[in-house]
Amino acid sequence: MHLTDAETALLARTDASGLAARLVVDAATMLGAARLVEIDSAHIDGCLYHGDSGVLFAEHLVALGGKVAVPATLNVGALDLIHADVVRTQGHRREMALRQARAYEALGCAATWTCAPYQVGHRPGFGRHVAWGESNAVAFANSVLGARTERYGDLLDIAAALCGRAPHVGLHVTENRRARITVDLADIPARLLAEDTAWPVLGAWIGAQVGELVPVLVGAGHPDEDQLKALGAAMASTGAVGLFHVVGVTPEAPDLAAATQGQPPDASLRPSLADLRQARDRLGAAAGEGVDAVAIGSPHLSDAQADALVAALAGRTVSVPLYACTNRQVLAHLQQTGADRALAEKGVTLVVDTCVVVTHVLPAAAGVLMTDSAKFAHYALPNAGYRAVYGSLADCVETAVAGRLTRDEAVWQ
């Protein structure tokens, strides 16, 4: 592997940047990289508490004088640092999660605590190399922004941020970004594609079909950023998609030939409406009318989605716990009009800095969780012990108000 003089000098350092550089070079060697690439920014997933070793590693970097070499944002943590009573974690686990949060902030990472850093101003430019963790954020950065990142896991993400380098492999490489599979949406009604509820389901179906290959969608219309956010999050949950293209929408796909880099695709898919209905039901089908909790906001709610929640609840209160996960910037947006207090009075719990499937937020007694998020639906049972039921945001609100499962099936007919 070729290293520049500056990179060779980094390897010889005894501080945190030297340790980080050695970790990145070791990873690059294992991955078969010919060189490293300079990065513009990082998004750190390793700040979520999974055990004491992650805390001790971060504190060791602090003790070695570590400071990030590039702008770095933090993914969700294990605590809501704004609302102390939202997360039920106590004792040693809470203490260590706090220590981990403080260590990453001491390393110079911005205290964003969100899985959607692109919604709080962290939007790297087209073609720029970055080192991002968190699967939906990786998909969004690569696909919607046209930046270049591999799927960086815990600890390698902060190592890249400290030394400002990443292995030149995978989706950093132009040839690896070409679409390998076309997804023709000609058989999906335009009225369904116009609805937000379609995009998590479509993403879940595609992810299960393509695995880690790069798909390109044809005939998708003009999805907005929240719809693309949901699409990528679902693909990365049921599959391992780090990059997708949408012809006429995403920056590397002005047309099909550009997305495939002029080469024929390896395969073509053409889902039917029945395929998507089955994918929706795999996310969580109704098994009666009982719903014990409702959760939205994975990825975190945007300003527009939070406003839609406020509007949907106008004049009503919930009878089933409704958890809305979002970031501090959206919380500030709601606070400007007092909407945060209004939501609390209606029975809504705003969850900030974290979400319900990575820490102890939901009631301990397991049950049925309704959600509009493919990611929540995918992880609810293994992570939180709740069986999922999938529906639109409107379905989620109506269910929370009524206290029983309420879904509008018309759009799926």
Q: For residue 86, how far is the Cα from the chain centroid?
A: 21
**Which of 232, 261, 281 is the endpoint of a domain?**
281
pLDDT band at 403 (very low <50, low <70, confident <90, very high): very high
**Which of 281, 299, 318 is the endpoint of a domain?**
281
In tens, the pLDDT along 248-266 reads 999 999 999 999 999 999 9
Do 245 and 149 lie in a common domain? no
Mean pLDDT, the chain, whole residue set: 96
Do 26 and 157 lie in a common domain? yes
> Dihedral through CA 181, CA 185, CA 186, CA 191, nearest 10?
-170
In tens, the pLDDT along 56-101 reads 999 999 999 999 999 999 999 999 999 999 999 999 999 999 999 9
Residue 411 domain-assigned (yes or no): no
DSSP string, 175-195: GGGS--EEEE-TTS-HHHHTS
Do 119 and 36 lie in a common domain? yes
Percent of the chain with pLDDT over 70: 100
**Which of 281, 313, 335 is the endpoint of a domain?**
281
How big, in percent rounded to 5, are the helix, strand and coil portions of the chain?
40, 15, 45
Measured in degrees and rounded to the nearest 5, phi and psi for residue 388 equal: -100, 150
We report the CATH number of the domain holding residue 123 as 3.30.499
Q: Which residues pair with 296 in a beta bridge?
A: 324
* pLDDT for 161: 98
Residue 193 domain-assigned (yes or no): yes
In tens, the pLDDT along 130-157 reads 999 999 999 999 999 999 999 999 999 9
Do 13 and 155 lie in a common domain? yes
Supply the pTM of this predicted model.
Answer: 0.97
Residue 412 domain-assigned (yes or no): no
Residues 6 or more apart whose Cβ sits within 8 Å of residue 235: 139, 203, 204, 206, 207, 210, 215, 241, 244
Name the token pair of 304.
């527009």
Q: How many angstroms separate the CA atoms of 339 and 333, rounded?
A: 9
DSSP string, 262-322: TS--SEEE---HHHHHHHHHHH----SS---EEEEEEEEEPHHHHHHHHHHTTT---SS-E
Q: Which residues pair with 148 in a beta bridge?
A: 129
Contact at 8 Å (CB) between 160 and 257? no
Do 163 and 257 lie in a common domain? no
Residues 6 or more apart whose Cβ sits within 8 Å of residue 157: 42, 43, 44, 45, 46, 131, 132, 133
Measured in degrees and rounded to the nearest 5, phi and psi for residue 286 equal: -65, 135
Do 274 and 292 lie in a common domain? no
Do 159 and 206 lie in a common domain? no
Residue 236 domain-assigned (yes or no): yes
Amino acid of residue 371:
T
Residues 6 or more apart whose Cβ sits within 8 Å of residue 142: 148, 149, 171, 177, 242, 243
Q: How many angstroms separate the CA atoms of 335 and 408, rounded?
A: 31
Residue 11 domain-assigned (yes or no): yes
Residue 121 domain-assigned (yes or no): yes
What total of structural domains would you count in the chain? Answer: 3
Percent of the chain with pLDDT over 90: 97
Question: Exposed/middle/buried for 123, CB within 10 Å: 0-12, 13-18, 19+?
Answer: middle
Do 16 and 139 lie in a common domain? yes
* pLDDT for 288: 72
* pLDDT for 287: 66
In tens, the pLDDT along 225-252 reads 999 999 999 999 999 999 999 999 999 9
Do 275 and 290 lie in a common domain? no
Instruction: Assess whether the previous peptide bond of 321 is cis (omega < 30° from 0).
Output: no
Residue 119 domain-assigned (yes or no): yes
In tens, the pLDDT along 293-318 reads 999 999 999 999 999 999 999 999 99
Do 338 and 254 lie in a common domain? no
We report the CATH number of the domain holding residue 313 as 3.30.499.10
Do 225 and 84 lie in a common domain? no
Range of the domain at 199: 178-281
Q: How many angstroms separate the CA atoms of 375 and 204, rounded?
A: 9
* pLDDT for 91: 96
Q: How many angstroms separate the CA atoms of 374 and 201, rounded?
A: 7
Residue 28 domain-assigned (yes or no): yes
pLDDT band at 289 (very low <50, low <70, confident <90, very high): confident
Q: Check pLDDT > 80 for residue 286.
A: no
What is the CB-side half-sphere exposure of residue 38 using CA atoms within 13 A? 7
Looking at residues 156-178, what average pLDDT do you find? 98
Do 229 and 303 lie in a common domain? no
